[in-house]
Amino acid sequence: MGVFLLGVTPAGNALLDHQLYLPEAWAADPERRKKTRVPPEIEFRTKPQIAAALVARSTVRFDWITADEEFGRDGDFLDALEGHPQRYLVEVPVNTTVYPHQPLQQTPDGSAWQVGLLAQTISAKAWRVIQLREGAKGPLAFEFTRLRVWAMRHRHAGPQVWLLIRRSLEPVPEVKYYISNTEADVPLETMALVTGSRWPVEEFFEDAKGKLGMAHYEARSWTSWHHHMSLVALAHLYVMQVRRDLKRKTPDLTLDMAMRLLQAALPRPQLTIEDAGDLIDYYRDRNKQATNSHRKTWLARHPNVLSKK
pLDDT in tens, 191-237: 999 999 888 888 889 888 888 888 887 778 999 999 999 998 988 88
Q: How many CA atoms lie within 13 A of 248 on its CB side?
A: 5
Residue 10's contacts (CB-CB under 8 Å, 6 or more residues apart) are none
Check residue 179 and report its DSSP letter.
E
Angstrom distance (rounded) from CA 295 to CA 306: 11
pLDDT digits (tens, 9 = 90+) for 102-124: 887 666 666 889 999 999 999 99
Question: How many CB atoms are closer than 10 A to CB 19?
Answer: 21
From residue 303, give the alpha-carbon distance in Å to each of 119, 292, 295, 308. Answer: 61, 16, 11, 10
From residue 29, give the alpha-carbon distance in Å to each of 26, 32, 35, 152, 219. Answer: 5, 5, 10, 36, 19
Contact 115, 163 (CB under 8 A): yes
pLDDT at 87: 95
pLDDT at 309: 34
Question: How many CB atoms are closer than 10 A to CB 233?
Answer: 21
- Of 74, 76, 110, the residue nearest 93 (C-alpha): 74
Percent helix, percent strand, percent coil in the chain, to nearest 5: 40, 25, 35
pLDDT at 267: 54
Angstrom distance (rounded) from CA 159 to CA 102: 9
DSSP 123-177: -GGG-EEEEEEEETTEEEEEEEEEEEEEEEETTEEEEEEEEEEEE-SSSS--EEE
Question: How many CB atoms are closer than 10 A to CB 5?
Answer: 21
Handedness of CA 184, 185, 189, 190 (dihedral sign): negative
pLDDT at 273: 53
Question: How many CB atoms are closer than 10 A to CB 41?
Answer: 5
pLDDT at 117: 94
Q: What parts of the chain have a pLDDT lower than 70?
A: 105-110, 135-138, 246-284, 286-287, 291, 294-295, 298-299, 301-309
pLDDT at 258: 63
- Give the domain ranges of the chain: 1-64+205-266, 89-196, 273-303
